[in-house]
Amino acid sequence: MGHLIDRTAQNLFITASSVKENGKKRKIVIESRPEFAIIKLTGSSERFPLSWETIYQIAKQHHANNLRLEAEAEKPRKPRKTNPSG
């Protein structure tokens, strides 16, 4: 009987967007691992591991903030009342 060997494959994503670091634009690289992701910039030795749960929580929080900002932007604004005496 056979058994499944743990997969050791990893995915590497290089984003189309870039971030400015030390006056130089660098692409964002995301290394996908089973339990976490490593975020770094091209040409940089700094690496930031983040759990998938943390990434999900950050995305969820940003989404809630974006929905709130969109709702505020859609509210009709009340015209300012000018004070005729002053």
Nearest to 27 by CA among 43, 8, 50, 11: 43
Mean pLDDT score across all residues of the chain: 87
> What tens digit of pLDDT does each residue of 9-35 get?
678 899 898 999 989 999 999 999 989
Threshold 0.75, pTM exceeds: no
Residue-wise pLDDT for 27-65, tens only, equals 999 999 989 999 999 998 999 999 999 999 999 999 999
pLDDT of 1 strictly over 60: no
Q: What pLDDT, on a 0 to 100 scale, did the predictor assign at position 64? A: 96
